[in-house]
Structure 1
């Protein structure tokens, strides 16, 4: 359930907005005057699945007006108990509004001091955990690392055709990976690299089942966001495992093991591309798109371009994986 509040001018558009509110068949609503002159506050109590349509209708009515504000709140509980809807509308899917998802994603794609500090700390934890074969430390680094945020931001930007978000997410992701590589490379000069560590060496193993894991993790992350269940992202961070391969690249490169560094880098690239593509597919299937028709055309173009590039990169990575596997079998034989 959602509580939608609209603060708007009390002008001739008010009646049209109220018709849109009633058309949404809310559970309840009320209107009150505010302390500001000629202003109204409309509070609407909505069932799941109806908020986006109402928000779009309101924004259409108030097109060209900057003097309004829509705020959406999740409703944890209400009394008395609501009756369950019995008609076909009861099957509306549970989904957060586009604006709610955008707010969550854009915050996670922000490049600021906290992001940099979190990447540095998680890289230190991951590098030490990988080298010492500490499973708990590696898992902890996965949870700490904020790299999933810019990946989802990139997919969201493509789904909406929002090139500002695309650029911001790309810069944040590139900076995060670059910081992780630099930190782990520096750490390699202070750590005696242990090639017997199973956690470290597993990051140099690139297999096709890793592609399926990354795709599933990306889809789960996007689905969690669209359903307003951000708490599930902790599990996705562990499954996605973006930071450990990045830390492994720096450790291998700093110690002169370039072939292992290449394999770990391939695993990192494969995970990033698979996450982006899977999240993009889920956003598309959940109909996360701009409100205006012309913006939808731009979004469609961005989606197809990014999807095509992702598929090409995955195909190239898959071919390289098969080639590496074939080369290893030949050398063993």
Structure 2
């Protein structure tokens, strides 16, 4: 039996499709509203109070200058002692952010007077910080190059991102009604403006200007990107522009502010591009090392020292990848040539030089000696001080003892031949001897007599020879043996 289709048993689809579209639009609207409520910050911004608080933090005199000097001293001590906790404490009390926020805000709202005041206080702040750090490290007797100091001599992509997003968080927190103090403290720690200035003073104090230059570069990057973040947020929040009665002056100031803003953004963009390229180069270099030297199997005593590997981007110059291997086993030339071929397969490593320092083969003897000394130093640090002192005392005692027992055998043999004409031969060696309580090194002479000498004469000559050797060498422990 066949069933006939009629209009009554056809299910309508147009109404259901409209309902789905309506529900979907409603969902999108709900998501949009949720995101707007979640991320919208303009409605809860107090522009006037924010501007007033930023301007109030710009002046750098009186109490603020003393707070900066104290924080610089604390940071310098922390960096010198390699103490992260002390450095964090110094950053919490540091007033460095004020003039930087002032510069970013004044550029955003065309406030030339605030910009001028911010620049002046910023310059005073930097000079005072560097002088304070210089005096500390110049006069303080302990000036070790700690890891905390050396970490502030060369920026990378992470420093740029930390400065930018830290600046964003700081300005957003300052703009909120009821400032979030914990955010301000966190940004003060994250952006780390204080340690690079201390490292500038350290580099100048120890006569290494390249340290100072690298640290100042890092400080400049932090400053630029914090100021840039401030500029962008103030623009986004639509802070009111400063109005001037003279329209010509207003246009001039707006033009100056725009030019200064562009000039700040150009080095910021260039710096970001530069450190980004360096980070990509180092990433490929690490991948290359992972695929080559890290999987290479040494057959004997050789080993790869990964913590001494150097990866240098050398912007504008030839990049360098330098590997260090310890031990007597040398990596074959065909393996090294294969690695160089593999290196060329990485787009950013094609022009990089691959150097391999390995035992006795590298032409840089100074580098190899440095590596050996560093390795021994690191190994010695595993021992405690008492153990080191004990080992050194034993070594000195052994050296002193052995130095006292050095035998001038050439002179002794010539004198023996002149004094005892019946001697046919004389030999000498050291013999280890122990009574299971201590170990001694005994000098032993072996004498061979000429044939035909009578026993009584031989015995008399033997006693004379023994007495003469003990007196000549001032050593009563030496032994003389007779050989056939």
Band the TM-score falls in, shorter-chain normalisation? 0.5 to 0.7
> What secondary structure, in the 3-state scheme, does the structure 2 residue paired with 1:193 have?
coil
From 127, 135, 143, the counterpart of 1:193: 143
**CA shift for structure 1 position 303:** 4.8
The answer to whether the 8 Å contact 1:159/1:289 transfers is no
2:40 aligned with 1:122, yes or no?
no
Aligned residue runs from structure 1 range 1-333, under 5 A: 93-191=42-140, 192-195=142-145, 197-228=146-177, 229-231=179-181, 232-290=183-241, 292=243, 300-318=254-272, 321=275, 325-327=312-314, 329-330=319-320, 332=322, 333=355
What's the CA shift for 1:239? 1.3
Contact 2:111–2:242 (8 Å) recurs in 1: no
Seen in structure 2, the aligned counterparts of structure 1 residues 167 and 279 have a Cα distance that, compared at 3 Å, is same
Alpha-carbon distance in 1 for matches of 2:158, 2:152: 13
Please give the secondary structure, in 2, of the residue aligned with 1:219. helix
Between stretches 314-323 and 272-281, larger displacement belongs to 314-323
User: 2: CA distance between counterparts of 1:118 and 1:104?
Assistant: 18
Relative to 1, partners in 2 of residues 1:302 and 1:286: Cα closer, same or farther, differing over 3 Å?
farther
Which of structures 1 and 2 has the larger relative contact order (alpha carbons within 8 angstroms, sep 6+)?
1
Cα 1:239–1:200 shift into 2, 3 Å: same
315-324 vs 280-289, greater mean Cα deviation: 315-324
Closer/same/farther in 2, CA of residues 103 and 227 from structure 1, 3 Å limit:
same
Question: Per-residue CA shift, 1:14-54, capped at 9, x if unaligned?
Answer: xxxxxxxxxxxxxxxxxxxxxxxxxxxxxxxxxxxxxxxxx
1:291 Cα offset (Å): 6.5
Tell me if the contact between 2:54 and 2:101 (Cα under 8 Å) persists in the aligned partners: yes
The number of aligned residues is: 245
Checking the alignment, whether the CA contact within 8 Å between 1:289 and 1:299 is kept in structure 2 is: no
RMSD: 2.8
1:181 positional shift: 0.3
Do the aligned partners of residues 298 and 286 (structure 1) sit closer, same or farther apart at CA in structure 2, a change above 3 Å counting? farther
Q: Are the counterparts in 1 of residues 112 and 253 from structure 2 also a CA contact under 8 Å?
A: no
Length-normalised TM-score, structure 1: 0.67
Post-superposition CA distance 1:203-227 (Å, at most 9, x none) = 1131022111100011111111111
**Deviation for aligned residue 1:308:** 1.1
Larger Rg: 2
What CA deviation, in whole Å up to 9, does each residue of 1:123-168 have, x standing for no partner? Answer: 0001110110111110011111101011111111112211111111
Structure 2 runs not aligned, ≥5 long: 1-35, 279-310, 323-354, 356-484
Structure 1 stretches of 5 or more lacking a match?
1-87
